[in-house]
């Protein structure tokens, strides 16, 4: 199977230069930062200028610095679940709820924070690793390529919605309410 190169998938956008924002806003650990670093190195070789918005900018900071890649913090957000612990997501929709989609005001503030970063950096495109809030902020304005495993980029079911995350249980938030907030 032939895989097109990223420059073929994301043509230059007039007036925006050749920068691509690589972003990681949710999730813990090394894998997100390592995946973005791997992509950033390849983008540099293809003539692009990657910039990185990271949930934890300290993760792999030395490796990013060695490549001359600018890294800055993604807008921080706190979970908005107020029920009794522990939080148990029924599907990816509940994950979206806890990250901000369940609270319209919080969601608006997070999208506004991403809007400010997008205006400041003016990327031609975005590669989003577990970055649903950024994806909403960029919707219909800047091309977004979501990356990750089946958890962070879940498949849509034929009947709509998302697959369950384990044994079937009621949604914490009705998906229609989350969509209405977006």
Number of domains in the chain: 1
Q: Structure pTM?
A: 0.85
Question: What CA–CA distances, in Å, run from 157 to 56, 91, 162, 170?
Answer: 32, 12, 6, 17
Within a domain: 3: no
Q: How many residues in total does the chain contain?
A: 182
pLDDT score for 3: 44
pLDDT score for 11: 57
Within a domain: 8: no
Backbone angles phi, psi at 51, to 5 degrees: -130, 145
Structural domain boundaries enclosing 170: 15-181
CATH number at residue 119: 3.40.50.2300
Within a domain: 154: yes
Within a domain: 136: yes
pLDDT tens digit sequence for 10-21: 555 544 458 999
Report residues of the chain scoring pLDDT below 70. 1-17
Within a domain: 10: no
pLDDT score for 9: 54
């Amino acid at each position: 199977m032939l895989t097109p190169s990223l420059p073929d998938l994301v043509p230059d956008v007039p007036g925006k230069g050749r920068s691509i924002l690589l972003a990681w806003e949710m999730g813990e650990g090394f894998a997100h930062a390592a995946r973005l670093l791997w992509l950033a190195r390849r983008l540099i070789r293809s003539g692009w200028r990657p910039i990185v918005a990271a949930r934890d900018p300290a993760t792999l900071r030395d490796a990013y610095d060695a490549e001359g890649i600018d890294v800055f913090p993604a807008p921080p957000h706190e979970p908005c679940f107020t029920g009794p612990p522990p939080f148990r997501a029924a599907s990816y929709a509940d994950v979206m709820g806890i990250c901000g989609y369940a609270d319209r005001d919080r969601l608006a503030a997070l999208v506004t924070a991403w809007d400010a970063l997008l205006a400041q950096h003016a990327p031609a495109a975005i590669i989003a690793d577990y970055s649903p809030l950024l994806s909403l902020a960029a919707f219909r304005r800047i091309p977004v390529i979501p990356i990750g495993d089946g958890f962070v980029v879940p498949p849509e079911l034929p009947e709509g919605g998302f697959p369950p995350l384990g044994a079937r249980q009621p949604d914490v938030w009705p998906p229609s309410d989350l969509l209405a907030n977006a």
